[in-house]
Amino acid sequence: MDSLTRHIIVSPHLDDAALSLGGWIGALVARGAPVTVVTVFSAAETQTLSPLARELHRAWGAEANPIAVRQREDEQAMHLLGATRQYLHELDALYRFPDFQQAEDLFRRQAPEENLKARIKTALEPLTTSPHSAVQLYFPLGIGGHVDHRLVASLGFELSAEGVHPHFYEELPYALIKGSLATRQSECPIELYPTVLDVTHTFALRLDAIEKYSSQLEMLFASSDGMRQALTRYATGLCEAPSRRGERLWSTSERSQTDLQNSIGDLRLHL
């Protein structure tokens, strides 16, 4: 990898990239690599809201204009990490499925939304092809079962079958749930190869970026301190040395895993 390699992080929602891969994003940017975070479900229907949507908007403290609040948080977080933002403006499952009555419904299995997935794939195409530089793609693994995460992950698996070979990241905080990663691994249609990224130098930056999503912190972690403690434990558990902090990516081929490991060595020379 060199500084001309473009890194495209596909994030289902306005916080997933920072929550799950903020240390790696910060490390790449510090190396001079261009990073774009593409948030898929970045639009909200505010005219006809389900009781569940109204309940979550109240919990976020964003009843008047939830998407404006969350985009403002995302702008601050991405500015801190140094990444470029791009939004695909698709509707969150919270709005696509007005019959959902409780938060647990967002994590139940749904029939594939093929038209939506095709639209997302088309929107990503101009971002993922470049005649002047290499491109590395990152998709969520789909841990936890959220409808939107599973849909975006399934697109990543399809692209892998077409020879694109993206990397997959573990979504936090879902990966904190015991057994959630193993459950997802058992469901994946292809073999995946893990690589632990040493993000010790940029881990504090990741935590600071996550704090910018203040509307989500209490719901996800109870508090900012709870977030810092939980993610630090998880990141430390990925590393052999207790002083190091890690994030884990899953590659779709041994070759793409090797490319990723080479890029880690390159980054270590500059951080």
238 occurs within a structural domain = yes
Angle of CA points 51, 56, 62, to nearest 5°: 115
pTM here is 0.92
Contacts 24+ apart (CB under 8 A), 62-65: 62/215
Contact criterion met (CB below 8 Å) for 77 and 205: no
Cα 102 to Cα 91: distance, rounded to the nearest angstrom = 18
Position 68 in a domain: yes
Q: Give the C-alpha distances (Å, rounded to integers) separating 226 from 81, 172, 262.
A: 21, 13, 34
8 Å CB contact between 227 and 77:
no
Residue 10 lies in a domain: yes
Which structure tokens are listed for 29? 């940017």
- On whether residue 144 sits in a domain, the answer given is yes
Residue 57 lies in a domain: yes
Residue 233 lies in a domain: yes
User: Within a domain: residue 1?
Assistant: no
C-beta atoms surrounding 62 within 10 Å: 19
Residue 53 inside a domain? The answer is yes
Give me the tens of pLDDT residue by residue for the chain, a chain 271 residues long: 455 789 999 999 999 999 999 999 999 999 999 999 999 999 877 778 899 999 999 999 987 788 899 999 999 999 999 999 999 999 999 999 888 889 999 998 677 799 999 999 999 998 877 666 688 999 999 999 999 999 999 999 999 989 888 999 999 999 999 999 999 999 998 899 999 999 999 999 999 999 999 999 999 999 999 999 999 999 999 999 999 999 999 998 777 777 777 766 655 544 4
64, 17 Cβ separation under 8 angstroms? no
| Residue ranges making up the domain that contains 35 | 6-268
The CATH number covering residue 220 comes to: 3.40.50.10320
Q: How many domains does the chain have?
A: 1
